[in-house]
Amino acid sequence: MRKLAIAGCIISITVLLLSAHSGALTQEELSNIKVFETSSPSVVNITTTTLVRDLFSVYPKDGAGSGTIIKKEGFVLTNYHVVKDAKKIQVTLTNGDKYEAELVGASAENDLAVIKIKSDKEFIPLVFGDSDALVVGQKVYAIGNPFGLNSTLTTGIISAVGRPLTSQGGLVIENVVQTDAPINPGNSGGPLIDSGGKMIGINTAIFSPSGGSVGIGFAIPVNTAKGIIDDLISFGKVRRPSLGVTGVPLWEEFASSFGLPLTKGILVSTVEKGGPADKAGLRGGSERVRVSGTTIYIGGDIITEIAGVKVTSTEDIRRSLSDKKDGDLIDVKVFRKGEFKILKIRVKLKT
């Protein structure tokens, strides 16, 4: 009787499990399905062919990644490292349609690129979200083509925000989003999506001793992409705020060797004629010298602050100008002939 009772219990449990499985989907499952069904038509598989040279020959090498349609005309956002040096780019939609594509613009420092599908058809773009509003713990989805498996959905949460990430080219990308949604080779360039179906990041890299996902993935925030997409499409590269100067970071030995009055700051070597700094009266050097094989000019102004940020390196200059728009008027503090001056310089965007 006991064996029969146990068997009957097992049968009853199995029936209940099967009944639950074949019944209505949970609200979470329905949400997952909705996000995938509405978002996946905008996610593409990207395959590339690059030419590799060895000691004896040049041969083609295939690569793969993912991308997101961002405009109905067929513009696709992806990672720069997915399409870098590609001689041939092919895009495959979720319905299996294949198209040739071409590189339109790229930003190596952001590891982002825009390619254009060669077709007159209209495509379905994914809606952008707001990555500045992300909070740790909120649910996210990753759609891509890991290991060549098309239209794969994985889920997770935002694990952290504001992470720095060193790109494959050695450049530091700021404010990267960390997620535990599984990201694998082939996911690069695909979207990270919030529960409303909006793209809030571009999946870019993983931390993994084994090469596979261990729950530490990184995505470039979509707001970073939003700030440069128009430039990539219109100019092929990102326009950056510029003062129109060539400068040299100072250090103690250099300053001592040439009798300069300061040991920290940016020595203005040349000023672009007619540029923002020239119009504001910034002065370059007049005495030509050679330093480590490079010709520079000394005797000009020394910049110590830009827009309230102390500058001692080219990275400091980039950081001080990073949020400036074309035409913004900023204060630039310089040392000239024994005294500090504040110059008003109007920023200009340049490619």
Catalytic site positions: 81, 111, 188
- Rounded CA-CA distance 194/196 in Å is 5
- Rounded CA-CA distance 332/271 in Å is 14
- Rounded CA-CA distance 201/2 in Å is 58
Count of beta carbons in the 10 Å neighbourhood of residue 82: 25
- Rounded CA-CA distance 162/205 in Å is 15
Amino acid letter for position 172: V
Residue given tokens 């109007």 in the structure block: 346
Query: How large is the C-alpha radius of gyration of the chain?
Result: 27
- Rounded CA-CA distance 184/233 in Å is 28
Residue 227 token pair: 């700030």
Q: Are 143 and 181 in contact (CB under 8 A)?
A: no
CA terminus-to-terminus distance, the chain: 84
The four Cα atoms 17, 143, 110, 200 give a dihedral, to 10 degrees, of: -70
The bridge status of strand 294-298 relative to strand 309-310 is unpaired
Amino acid letter for position 56: F
Tell how far CA 274 is from the center of its chain.
33
Q: Are 154 and 182 in contact (CB under 8 A)?
A: yes
Q: Which of 110, 215, 217, 214 is closest to 168 using CA atoms?
A: 110
